[in-house]
């Protein structure tokens, strides 16, 4: 095995003096590498091509440093020469028009129904080339891609905008090399987007996530394509962070350049990788949380995308068993806290109070007595008996325990399955047995 540092090693050195949790930095890098590759590399699965673009959502309480992790990754990716980022705020229509490459002037022309206005000199010629004036809908042969980096995801997509999210879901795994994504807007012409490739790195608090995805939308297709990355605050307090070593930044840029030159076309799995992926797929059990059922059905695709990215970070054009182990370990570790990302929100009458209880317990370093929990939720509950019922329900659901010796409640931490096939938790910086 080579002693040369991988992009992972370099990146973790680059962000060492920051407060964001390690898991946030890890997924920020993974999604960034996937966006960087775009449609340059793919993994073949029968007739389907799997590209490395990912949809990742960092979720945690305010102050968990989600924005810091996202902005750092975006800054690094810009330094590597990537510049296809989305707008900070948009609508579904504007997003698709931007992805097609239609200018504001051309959009205004479309909104007027194709009527010439003063100052529209030459605009018809441009629109004819873009097939916006009633053409056949042929594309220009240029693949379209965009990386959505939104540390406040609801600012980007709006709240409860299921229509927009459904469109993003449909674009996640677009592998038709011959056809375009087409849509006709109200009072305007059609657009045709050739080989769309969308990557997402977003951030949300639990409450904002609930606004973006009402409980009725839990089975919605976009969520099955989303990696939910939850973390508590890292606990690090760095008043005066050091500027990262310039040599590390240079080494990262060299690594990105090497990835661009090396990782191209179909990236095959060697025999050991195929054996590992097959064993994982056949033995993996769906996540227990029913709200994550749709995610479980797409778990294999998520893992294969990760395998491709892990190989790319080694500048390898072949996926090895080493890449599969790392990808499956990262996914297994992340899945262990996906239910925390969804929190206690749902249709329950006292869902907000349940969420407040679990948040307090997760963040506390010691058991919390009943009286102190009452102070946390008294604005959300009518009487103390409601809290007793909630605590009993959470206990029966095996989410909390009562510690008699400490005289208070503790969250029941579910250990990561370290004995699962092809999982090596020692590969993760934050894992402690």
Mean pLDDT of the chain: 86
Q: If you average pLDDT over residues 274-299, what whole number do you get?
A: 93
Residue environment code for 1-11, b if the CB has 16+ CB neighbours within 10 A, otherwise e? eeeeebbbebb
Task: For residues 68 and 107, state if they share a domain.
Answer: no
For the domain that residue 56 is a member of, what is the CATH number? 3.40.50
Confidence at 130, pLDDT banded by 50, 70, 90: very low
Whole-Å CA distances, 376 to 205, 237, 295, 354, 356:
18, 25, 32, 10, 7
Task: For residues 38 and 130, state if they share a domain.
Answer: no
Non-local (6+) Cβ contacts of 173 within 8 A are 50, 51, 225, 301
Task: For residues 72 and 119, state if they share a domain.
Answer: no
Q: If you average pLDDT over residues 17-42, what whole number do you get?
A: 97
| 311 in any annotated domain | no
Q: If you average pLDDT over residues 322-326, what whole number do you get?
A: 97
| 32 in any annotated domain | yes
The 10s digit of each residue's pLDDT in 353-398 is 888 888 888 878 799 999 999 999 998 898 999 999 999 989 988 8
pLDDT above 50 (res 199):
yes
| 209 in any annotated domain | yes
Task: For residues 356 and 397, state if they share a domain.
Answer: yes
How large is the angle between the packed helices 321-335 and 22-37, nearest 10 degrees? 130
Task: For residues 40 and 149, state if they share a domain.
Answer: yes
pTM, entire model:
0.86
- DSSP helix/strand/coil, 370: helix
Q: If you average pLDDT over residues 255-262, what whole number do you get?
A: 96
Task: For residues 113 and 155, state if they share a domain.
Answer: no
The range of the structural domain enclosing residue 114 comes to 102-141
pLDDT above 70 (res 57):
yes
The 10s digit of each residue's pLDDT in 64-122 is 999 999 999 999 999 999 999 999 899 999 999 999 886 555 454 444 444 444 444 44
Task: For residues 256 and 195, state if they share a domain.
Answer: yes
Dist. CA 335–CA 364, nearest whole Å: 22
Task: For residues 71 and 121, state if they share a domain.
Answer: no
**Total number of domains constituting the chain:** 3
Residue of higher predicted confidence among 327 and 398: 327
The 10s digit of each residue's pLDDT in 215-250 is 666 666 888 999 999 998 898 999 999 888 999 999
């Amino acid at each position: 095995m080579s002693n040369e540092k991988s992009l992972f090693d370099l990146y973790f050195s680059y962000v060492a003096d920051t407060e964001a949790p390690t898991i946030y930095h890890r997924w920020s890098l993974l999604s960034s590498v996937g966006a960087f590759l775009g449609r340059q590399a793919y993994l073949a699965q029968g007739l389907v091509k799997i590209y490395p673009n990912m949809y990742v959502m960092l979720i945690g309480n305010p102050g968990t440093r989600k924005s810091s992790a996202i902005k750092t990754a975006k800054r690094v990716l810009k330094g590597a020469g990537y510049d296809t980022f989305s707008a900070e705020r948009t609508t579904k229509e504007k997003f698709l028009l931007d992805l097609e490459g239609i200018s504001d002037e051309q959009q205004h022309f479309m909104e007027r129904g194709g009527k010439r206005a003063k100052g529209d000199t030459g605009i018809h010629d441009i629109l004819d080339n873009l097939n916006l004036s009633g053409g056949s809908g042929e594309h220009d042969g240029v693949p379209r891609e965009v990386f959505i980096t939104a540390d406040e995801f609801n600012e980007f997509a709006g709240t409860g905008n299921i229509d927009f999210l459904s469109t993003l879901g449909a674009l996640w795994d677009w592998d038709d090399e011959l056809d375009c994504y087409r849509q006709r807007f109200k009072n305007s012409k059609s657009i045709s987007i050739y080989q769309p490739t969308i990557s997402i790195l977003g951030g949300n608090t639990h409450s904002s996530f609930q606004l973006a995805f009402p409980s009725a939308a839990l089975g919605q297709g976009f969520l099955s394509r989303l990696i939910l990355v939850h973390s508590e605050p890292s606990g690090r307090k760095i008043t005066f962070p050091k500027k990262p070593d310039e040599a590390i930044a240079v080494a990262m840029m060299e690594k990105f350049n090497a990835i661009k030159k090396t990782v191209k076309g179909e990236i095959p799995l060697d025999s050991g990788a195929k054996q590992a992926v097959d064993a994982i797929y056949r033995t993996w059990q769906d996540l227990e949380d029913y709200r994550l059922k749709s995610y479980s059905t797409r778990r294999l695709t998520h893992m294969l995308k990760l395998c491709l990215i892990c190989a790319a970070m080694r500048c390898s054009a072949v996926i090895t068993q080493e890449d599969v182990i790392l990808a499956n370990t990262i996914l297994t570790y992340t899945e262990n806290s996906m239910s925390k990302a969804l929190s206690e929100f749902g249709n329950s009458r006292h869902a907000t109070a349940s969420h407040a209880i679990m948040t307090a317990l997760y963040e506390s370093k010691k058991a919390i007595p009943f009286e102190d929990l009452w102070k946390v939720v008294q604005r959300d509950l009518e009487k103390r008996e409601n809290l007793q019922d909630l605590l009993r329900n959470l206990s029966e659901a095996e989410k909390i325990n009562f510690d008699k010796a400490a005289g208070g409640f503790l969250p029941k931490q579910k250990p990561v399955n370290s004995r699962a096939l092809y999982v090596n938790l020692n590969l993760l910086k934050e894992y402690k047995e």
